[in-house]
Each structure stands twice: as C-alpha cells, then as structure tokens.
C-alpha cells in the first residue's frame, strides 16, 4: 500500500486522528462512523482478508470474503482508469458496511486520497465545508438525482469525478447531467467483483457500451449472461446479467436474467420495459418510482404488471396505461397497475422487487 499522506481524516464535520482510530480512542457518533472506524482500523493494522455482504437485491444477503491484495489491485485499476492520484480529495457518502463504501475507503488509502466522510444521505454535499472541491466521489442514482433536482444543485460542480452505481441510471437523470462540469461515470459491477469492473461516460445514449477496466476481459455464456475475467479476482465470475457483447472488453447491459418474464411464450426484460416507460411518466409529470413485475396468469403463464410507489389516482392511471399501450409493443405491455405506499429497499437503496410487489395492491378503477 502507498504510504497514506495524512495522519487524520474528516468525518461528519470533525477531524479524527488515524492513530486514535487504530487505538480505539476515536469514539463513533453514528452507526456508519462505527463501521468506518472499524474497517479503517483493520486495514491500517494489516488485515489480510475482508468480509462484506452482498446487497440483497436479488436474494438474501450473504457474506463475501476477499483478500487485501485483490482489493488493492481493484483500487489501482480504478485509479488508472480515472487518473486518480495521491493528494486528491475523496468523498465517502455511501454505507461503509457494503462493498461500494469499503472500496471507496480502500481506494483512498491505497492511492493516497484525503478522506471526507459523511453519513449516507440523499444530499451529502450540504454537509461538507463550504467551497470544498472534491476530486472523486461515488454515489447512487438517488443521491445524484436529489442533488441535481435541488435548490443547491450548483454544488455538484464541486465534484470533479463522480461514479454513479448501485442501480441503473435512467435517461431522465442523465438529461440533468449535461448542465454540470462534473465528469459522471456509470459503473457496472457487483460485490463479487469488488465493486465495478466496467464504466461508461455519462450522459450517453443506448449506443454507448460499458468498457471494461484495464486488464479485465468479458465474455458471454450460453444463457447470454456476462462472464468476467479480471486479474484481481480469484475465479471467473459467471453473472446473471444479460448482455449484448461487442468484444472482449465492451458490452451493452440488457437486464437481469433473474427478472425475465415469460408471458405467452415470449421472454421480456423488465428493465427494458422500464426504460421505455420512463418518458411516459415524465410526460405526465409523474415522479413516482416504479418497476415492472408479473403475476401468475392461467392463459399467459405470467401477466406483466406495473408496480408504482406512492399516490396515483384513477385518471392518471388510465392516462398512463393508455399511453403505454400506444407506445410499447404488445407483449411488453403491463395489463394492470399495482400500487405500494412505499417500496422496500436494501441498505444500498436498491428496490426489493419481490417484497415490494408483495406489499402492493391492484389499483381499483
């Protein structure tokens, strides 16, 4: 590991000495600080294995263990791809208990970037010192969307490079990004790959693929899902992410095979339908979160439904279904709308589709 140039970090408005963290003298004031201090202590004391949890978005969370050298190699790949260097400022505003937060800490300590850490909130920039410039940050789409839609949106220009990951970045959010000087990159990865293994510059259109990090190669299995060969991984990773492969270092993401709906013998991707429906929501002034799911159907096998979070009245629902049926191809059209008062989320802010569908009720019209 490169020698860390500072003897302290900035945490929620105060300076915390690293020697105090390692000696258990630094007293955490929040649960996130407790996780942050514990991980930094283990890392600086030379811990050789790290265990984290998967996010739980596609199944029960499970532990995942990786080595220090694997994490350092992953950090260096990101640094090489984004030209990160010692002396930069890095913002940690994600949960340090999960891989995205852990890798931000590791990148900072490995490369030599000064850590500014705030507890995860929807608008983390309002908690930072006024006029502070952040060279590198990572956020989930919800955080980016909140900032870019807020009265303090100009604060985004304080970030030079921003990784956006953890969930798909939709066209509506990307349309806001072009007004800022920040270099946005959408990341592709998972816990099992130690965060991202591919990036693409935002904003972009559907013709822009993900490009693998230096040294990472990709392939496709018989299911049409992504296979990942990376120098920092102990084994080849066989994912459940369906892709269109361009070559051994670039691809288009199509959706999760776990979510595929078989309706009337036709297999459709919920994620593709969601992208097609989003402009319709925008045209009607609806900001509700939503996802595509299915219920059992005696004739079709599975019937496509639209699950919406929050209030929507019968008139809006009628308009929505009418426009969807005018726009979306036949086998991709939702037949009904289900509404949940609020979606269940993982600790990393991904929608738990199965649980949220269970809590939803069909809209009575």
Fold classification of 260-362 is GMP Synthetase; Chain A, domain 3 (3.30.300)
The contacts of residue 62 (CB under 8 Å, 6+ apart) are 53, 54
Check whether 142 has a pLDDT greater than 80: yes
**What is the pLDDT confidence band of residue 2, given thresholds at 50, 70 and 90?**
very low
Check whether 167 has a pLDDT greater than 90: no
Q: How far is Cα 116 from Cα 123, in angstroms, rounded to an integer? A: 15
**What is the pLDDT confidence band of residue 1, given thresholds at 50, 70 and 90?**
very low
Q: Return phi, psi of residue 325, to 5°.
A: -70, -25
As annotated, the residues of the chain forming the CATH 3.30.300.30 domain(s) are 260-362
Dihedral over Cα of 306, 307, 310, 314: its sign: positive
Q: Return phi, psi of residue 182, to 5°.
A: -60, 140
Digit-coded pLDDT (tens) for 193-229: 998 999 999 999 888 999 999 999 999 999 999 999 9
Q: What residues form DSSP beta bridges with 342?
A: none
Contact assessment for residue 247 and residue 65, using Cβ atoms and an 8 Å cutoff: no
Fold classification of 8-256 is Rossmann fold (3.40.50)
CB neighbours of residue 62 within 10 Å: 9
The contacts of residue 95 (CB under 8 Å, 6+ apart) are 32, 35, 101, 120, 347, 348
Taking the model in full, what pTM does it have? 0.86
Q: What residues form DSSP beta bridges with 297?
A: 301
As annotated, the residues of the chain forming the CATH 3.40.50.12780 domain(s) are 8-256
Digit-coded pLDDT (tens) for 31-87: 999 999 999 999 999 999 988 877 655 556 678 889 999 999 999 999 999 999 999
Report CA-CA distances (Å) from 343 to 23, 112, 352, 354. 41, 39, 7, 10
Q: How far is Cα 317 from Cα 337, in angstroms, rounded to an integer? A: 7
């Amino acid at each position: 590991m490169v020698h860390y140039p500072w003897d302290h970090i900035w945490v929620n408005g105060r300076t915390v000495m690293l020697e105090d963290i390692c000696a258990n003298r630094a007293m955490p004031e929040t649960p996130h600080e407790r996780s942050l201090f514990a991980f930094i202590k283990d890392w600086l004391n030379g811990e050789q294995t790290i265990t984290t949890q998967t996010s739980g978005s596609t199944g029960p969370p499970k532990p995942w263990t990786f080595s220090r050298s694997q994490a350092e190699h992953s950090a260096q790949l990101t640094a090489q791809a984004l030209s990160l260097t010692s002396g930069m400022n890095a913002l940690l505003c994600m949960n340090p208990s999960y891989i995205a937060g852990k890798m931000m800490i590791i990148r900072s300590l490995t490369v030599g970037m000064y850590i500014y850490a705030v507890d995860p909130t929807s608008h983390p920039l309002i908690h930072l010192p006024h006029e502070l410039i952040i060279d590198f940050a990572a956020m989930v789409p919800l955080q980016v969307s909140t900032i870019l839609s807020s009265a303090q949106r100009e604060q985004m220009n304080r970030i030079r490079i921003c990784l956006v990951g953890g969930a798909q970045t939709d066209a509506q959010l990307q349309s806001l990004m072009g007004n800022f000087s920040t270099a946005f990159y959408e990341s592709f990865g998972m816990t099992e790959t130690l965060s991202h293994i591919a990036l693409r510059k935002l904003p972009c259109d559907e013709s822009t693929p993900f490009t693998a990090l230096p040294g990472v190669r990709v392939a496709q299995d018989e299911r049409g899902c992504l296979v990942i060969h990376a120098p920092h991984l102990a084994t080849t990773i066989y994912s459940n992410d369906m892709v269109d492969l361009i070559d051994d270092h670039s691809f288009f993401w199509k959706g999760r095979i776990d979510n595929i709906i078989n309706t009337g013998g036709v297999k459709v991707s919920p994620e593709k339908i969601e992208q097609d429906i989003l402009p319709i929501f925008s045209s009607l002034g609806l900001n509700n979160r939503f996802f595509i799911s299915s219920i059992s159907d005696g004739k079709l096998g599975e019937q496509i439904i639209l699950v919406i979070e929050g209030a929507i009245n019968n008139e809006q629902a009628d308009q929505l279904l009418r426009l969807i049926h005018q726009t979306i191809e036949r086998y991709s059209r939702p037949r009904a709308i289900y509404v949940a008062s609020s979606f269940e989320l993982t600790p990393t802010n991904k929608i738990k589709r199965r649980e949220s569908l269970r809590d939803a009720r069909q809209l009575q019209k």
